[in-house]
Amino acid sequence: MPESRIASFGRFRRSHEFWLLMVILGLCASLGFANAQFLTVQNLFDLLTSYAFVGVLALGLLVVLIAGGIDISFTATASVAQYVTLSLANAYGANWISVFAIAIGIGGALGGLNAIFIQKLRIPSIIVSVATLNIFYGLLIFFTGGKYIYSLPDWFATGIFWFEFEWGKDSSYGINLQILALALAFLVTWLLLNRTNIGRQIYAMGGNADAAQRLGFHIFGLNILVYCYMGVMAGIASLIQAQLAQSVAPTVLVGKELDVVAAVVLGGASLMGGVGTVLGTFLGLTLLAVLQNGIILLGVSSYWSPFFVGLVILISVSATAWSQRERRTRSARR
């Protein structure tokens, strides 16, 4: 049916994602021209690896935002999961399955705790997560003294390297832990939001919680699921970050929550709930990654890199808001 395909392309052309895609393509093209290093397989793999941590967290946050809530405690959750899991692995030995099981368990439990505070005590999610961020992080540093862990199990430090292939001369690429986790997180989140009944219920709840409740949705259960999902993502993200950094630093993750928020909201998710797509989050993440990477490759002093990142964020959100506003006034006049 070509007509409907044209119609859906038309809808896409007016969407937030389309504008974001144009910005990214423009940026990529100019960066590709300016620096031959930018459009290389090497750089692509490096980018995916280094942005996997933010990406996995962003997918968890996307689900929370769509459900109409917010969570900013995930960096603390990740710090706790990372520290406890790898301490246990160092003390008692472990393997890939058990470290991920522990990290997911801890993340899920802390996320569930958020959901219980939010739902059972009827406290807004922003208040709960500001509080639990401080509780989780404060207690972690209190009990651990903020000490770093430098020795990780050998198999963990080595990581994985799947589907190795050669490209060009003497450079080989493969799927590492970070890329694998990022890809799986995208796949699972996309399936959850677009191919399951629960996903539709999450959108509905975020759009109008009262209506969803009257329709008979299990609001408490949905919230538990959503915040646990965020916690699980934080657990996974924490391990791939530790693997990449080759150490556990309990103080470095907290403070990065706004990077994740930036990626998700740049991708068009609304803080009001009910709105947001996996594609949008992917594009928001890509924009930030390409921008930061491009600035370095262009040889701009790293001191000035946050300035340009801020500038592009401001311009792109202003342009999007402006175009949506224009469309609203035009349709109102009609």
Three-state DSSP state, 250: coil
Dihedral angle sign, alpha carbons of residues 55, 57, 62, 65? negative
**Candidate list 6, 22, 39, 127; residue touching other proteins; CB under 8 A:** 127
Q: Which is nearer to other proteins, 72 or 236 (CB)?
A: 72
- 307 is a contact residue toward other proteins (CB under 8 A): yes
CA–CA gap between residue 327 and residue 323 (Å, rounded): 6
Q: Can you tell me which of 121, 163, 170, 210 binds other proteins, judged by CB under 8 A?
A: 121
In whole angstroms, the minimum distance from the beta carbon of 110 to other proteins comes to 13
CB-wise, 239 or 260, nearer to other proteins?
Answer: 260
Q: Which of residues 64-103 bind other proteins (CB under 8 A)?
A: 72
Closest CB 16 distance from other proteins, rounded Å: 12
Instruction: Please report whether residue 147 would count as binding other proteins according to CB under 8 A.
Output: no
Of the chain, the end-to-end C-alpha distance in Å amounts to 29
Least distance (Å) from other proteins to the CB of residue 112?
Answer: 15
DSSP run (H or E) holding 331: helix 305-333
Applying CB under 8 A, the span of 42-50, 208-216, 232-240, 262-270 interacting with other proteins comes to 262-270
Instruction: Say whether residue 163 binds other proteins (CB under 8 A).
Output: no
Residues in binding contact with other proteins, number by CB under 8 A: 48
Q: Which of 187, 221, 324, 327 binds other proteins (CB under 8 A)?
A: 324
Residue 81 tokens read as 């999961």
Residue 140 CB, shortest distance to other proteins, in Å, is: 8
What backbone phi and psi angles, to 5 degrees, belong to 124?
-55, 145
Q: What is the phi-psi region of residue 163: left when phi exceeds 0, alpha when psi lies from -120 to 50, beta otherwise?
A: left
Rounded Cα–Cα distance for residues 12 and 206 (Å): 22
Contact 76, 132 (CB under 8 A): yes
* DSSP bridge pairs for 161: 176
Q: Who contacts 12 (Cβ-Cβ below 8 Å, separation ≥6)?
A: 18
Query: Cα-flanking dihedrals φ and ψ of residue 67, to 5°?
Result: -75, -5
Residue from 38, 45, 137, 227 binding other proteins (CB under 8 A): 137
The answer to whether 265 contacts other proteins (rule: CB under 8 A) is yes
Instruction: Give the chain's count of helices (H) and strands (E).
Output: 14, 2
Report if residue 184 touches other proteins, rule: CB under 8 A. Answer: no
Side-chain-side CA neighbours of 271 within 13 Å: the count stands at 11
CB of 267 to other proteins, least distance (A): 11
Contacting residues toward other proteins, per CB under 8 A = 72, 117, 121-124, 126-128, 130-135, 137-142, 146, 255, 258, 261-262, 265-266, 270-271, 301, 303-311, 313-314, 317-318, 321-322, 324-325
